[in-house]
Amino acid sequence: MNVMDLFGATSATDEVLSGVDLHGKRVLVTGVSAGIGIETARTLVAHGAHVVGAARDLAKAETATAPVRWEAAAKNGGSFELVELDLAMLSSVRACADALLTKGAAFDVIVANAGVMATPFSCTADHFETQFGTNHLGHFVLVNRIAPLLRGGGRLINLSSAGHRFSNVDLDDPNFERTTYDPFVAYGRSKTANILFAVAFDQRHRERGVRAAAVHPGVIQTELGRHMDRTRLEGMVKMMNEQLAAEGKGPFQWKTIKQGAATSVWAGVVAPAEEIGGRYCENCHVGKIMPDDVTLSGVSEGVRGYALDPANAAALWKKSEELAGESF
C-alpha cells in the first residue's frame, strides 16, 4: 500500500512513526510547553531524533517536557534541549535565530507549531495584531533567518488549521486598524498566512531539496482554546453536527493529542517530499482544494484555494518583509 494511503484521521503519532529510525536527525519544534508541541517532540525523540524545543516560558516548558526526556532515556531514543523563543516579540525571535546560527548545527525538519487562537484584541510587542504577529510574523522571521541551517532534503512544517476558512489574509489592514475585530476572523487570517508562507517558502527552496507544507492537526482540546467562549464553542459544535448529519455522517468527535500531532510528524518525516511540498495536509494525507462557494464544516476536509494561491503567497511574503523590516 502507498504510504499516502496508510494513515487517516484516527492515526496516532506512534503508529505513523512505527519502524521509523530518526537517529542522526535534528528537528526544531516551536511551542513545546503544551499540547501537540509536547507530543510532537516526545514521539520524535522516542524514535531517535535530537529535538530542539522552543518555548516562551522556559520554566513551564522544563516541567511540561518531562515526558520527552523520559522517552529519550527509557527507549534509547534521541535527545532534547530547550531554547527560549517569544514569537510575539521580534527581538526574542531574532535572538533565538542568532543563537541557533551561532551554534551552526543543521536541522532536518522545522515544525512551526506554536500559536494562539481566538484571543481578545491585543497587540504584540512590535504593535502587530496578536494572532497575525505571533502565528505568522514571528515564525516568518525565525524560519527565514535560520533557513541556511535546513539541510538539503529538509522540510518546514507549518501548523495551520481548518480555521483558515474563516478568512483570507487582509494585506491592506493586517492589524484591524480599519476593520472591526473578530477573534475568529483574526485567527483565520493568521492560519491562512501559515499556509501561504509554506507555499512561498517551498517555491524558494525546493531547488536545493528543501520542501515546505502546512498541516491541520484536527480539532483537539488543548490550551490553544483557552480564550474561547464556552457558549460559542458549544454553538460551533452544534453547527458542525448539523452539517455532518446533512452529509450523512456521524457526530463530531474530538481528536486526541496523539492523533492531532500525527499529521505533523507524518508530513515531517514519513510522507514523500514531492507529494506534500507546497500543499495543505490533514488527517495524514494531502487535502483537496474546495471551491469558495462550498460550505465546509469544521471537521470536513478541504482547503480554500486562496490559501494555496502562489500570487497571494508572494504578496503576503512582500507584506511580511515590510512589516518586519527585513528582507529574505
Residue 222 is placed in which grid cell? 488543548
Say which DSSP state 252 is in. Answer: P
Compute the average pLDDT of residues 264-277.
97
Residue 245 lies in a domain: no
When pLDDT is cut at 50, 70 and 90, the band that residue 58 belongs to is very high
Residue 121 lies in a domain: yes
pLDDT (0 to 100) of residue 110: 99
pLDDT (0 to 100) of residue 224: 53
pLDDT (0 to 100) of residue 97: 98
Convert the pLDDT of each residue in 216-268 to its tens digit.
Answer: 999 887 555 555 566 665 666 666 657 767 777 776 677 999 999 999 999 99
Poorest-pLDDT segment among 64-68, 89-93, 139-143: 64-68
Residue 152 is placed in which grid cell? 538539503
Closest by CA position to 98, among listed 33, 53, 149? 149
Compute the average pLDDT of residues 305-312.
98
pLDDT at 144 over 70: yes
pLDDT (0 to 100) of residue 140: 98
Say which DSSP state 251 is in. Answer: P
pLDDT at 298 over 70: no
| Catalytic residue ranges | 160, 187, 191
pLDDT at 31 over 90: yes
Q: What angle do CA 190, 295, 260 make, to 5 degrees?
A: 50
pTM of the complete model beyond 0.75: yes
pLDDT (0 to 100) of residue 266: 98
Compute the average pLDDT of residues 112-129.
97
Poorest-pLDDT segment among 198-212, 222-236, 282-296: 222-236
Residue 268 lies in a domain: yes
pLDDT (0 to 100) of residue 73: 83
Measured distance CA(177)–CA(196) in Å, rounded = 22
pLDDT (0 to 100) of residue 74: 81
Residue 159 lies in a domain: yes
Task: For the chain, give the mean pLDDT.
Answer: 91
Residue 243 lies in a domain: no
CATH number at residue 179: 3.40.50.720
pLDDT (0 to 100) of residue 296: 56
**Percentage of the chain lying above the pLDDT 70 cut:** 88
pLDDT (0 to 100) of residue 75: 72
Residue 71 is placed in which grid cell? 522517552
Residue 241 lies in a domain: no
pLDDT (0 to 100) of residue 8: 93
pLDDT at 186 over 70: yes
pLDDT at 309 over 70: yes
CA 123 to chain centroid, in Å, comes to 21
Element spanning 263, H or E: helix 257-265
Report the DSSP pairing between strands 303-304 and 289-290.
Answer: parallel
Q: Please report, as a single letter, which amino acid is at residue 48.
A: G
Measured distance CA(150)–CA(155) in Å, rounded = 7
312 Cβ neighbours under 8 A, 6+ residues apart? 168, 169, 196, 306
Measured distance CA(216)–CA(52) in Å, rounded = 22
Residue 293 lies in a domain: yes
Measured distance CA(142)–CA(54) in Å, rounded = 11
DSSP string, 136-149: IIIHHHHHHHHGGG
Measured distance CA(169)–CA(137) in Å, rounded = 13
Number of domains into which the chain is organized:
1
Closest by CA position to 195, among listed 63, 69, 317, 307? 307
CA dihedral sign, ordered 294, 281, 250, 221: negative
3-class secondary-structure state, position 115: coil
Closest by CA position to 111, among listed 36, 218, 33? 36
pLDDT (0 to 100) of residue 123: 98
Residue 294 lies in a domain: yes
Domain that includes residue 188, residue range: 3-225+256-324
